[in-house]
Amino acid sequence: GAVVSQHPSRVICKSGTSVKIECRSLDFQATTMFWYRQFPKQSLMLMATSNEGSKATYEQGVEKDKFLINHASLTLSTLTVTSAHPEDSSFYICSAFRQGAEAFFGQGTRLTVV
Amino acid sequence: QKEVEQNSGPLSVPEGAIASLNCTYSDRGSQSFFWYRQYSGKSPELIMSIYSNGDKEDGRFTAQLNKASQYVSLLIRDSQPSDSATYLCAVTIQGAQKLVFGQGTRLTINP
């Protein structure tokens, strides 16, 4: 069964609004979670590393004020896309390492901004 | 140079044949290597992990790692149409849990 759960799986929002995506580790504690974005026919691009109890680490070119990450507990990280625009439409995926060795992914969230 | 490189394909293989997927990486200090399968519209699913030189077999899948050549491959024996997907090679950068992905190889198994 799934070890990392992501919600919602699909969301459509109006331009200018904010959207929150949740990522939960189901049977293990994750001090670190990762957020990826994937555009059609492209690979996964790491956006940021979410650290429990501290600030997220963002990859170069990712706006931290636009993509807010909160990792308030050992099993939950959230990504909020603020003031979403159509170019933010993408597939967002979170992941976490279980037992420090292998990364498992959430089901992904298909965001469409209209 | 990209950190992890794969041939984007598409790679077409007849059903029952062996599919061979290749990946090279640039960071000599990389320690962990993974193959993920991704169906269209879905998130990646872990197929194999490999950490030391040589071969690792799991059912119809065999991962091969050659750290001297900075090369990792995945063989799929007795290919099935259900194996048709994009296969992503991923590497952890030395000292970090961060995964870096290749661009993926699209594999099609023809009945």
Could you tell me the two tokens for B48? 């194999």
pLDDT of A39 > 90? The answer is: yes
Summarised one tens digit per residue, pLDDT across range A5-26 is 999 999 999 999 999 999 999 9
* Per-residue pLDDT, A52: 87
| CB within 8 Å of A36: residues ≥ 6 apart | A44, A45, A46, A47, A92, A93, A94, A95
Q: Measured between beta carbons, which residues in chain A are less than 8 angstroms from residue B99?
A: 34, 46, 95, 103
* Per-residue pLDDT, A24: 95
Closest partner residue to B103 (CB to CB) among A32, A34, A43 is A43
Summarised one tens digit per residue, pLDDT across range B30-73 is 889 999 999 998 999 999 999 999 999 999 999 999 999 999 99
Q: What is the mean pLDDT of residues A85-107?
A: 88
Measured between CA atoms, the residue of chain B closest to residue A94 is B43
For chain A, what is the mean pLDDT? 92
Pairing status of strand A67-73 against strand A57-58 = unpaired
The confidence band for B95, taking pLDDT boundaries of 50, 70 and 90, is: low
Measured CA to CA, the distance from residue A51 to residue A34 in angstroms comes to: 9
The SS3 of residue A74 is coil
Contact criterion met (CB < 8 Å) for B97 and A43: no
Summarised one tens digit per residue, pLDDT across range A62-89 is 999 999 999 989 999 999 999 999 999 9
Which residues does residue A39 pair with via DSSP β-bridges, in sequence order? Answer: none
Q: Measured between beta carbons, which residues in chain A are less than 8 angstroms from residue B49?
A: 101-102
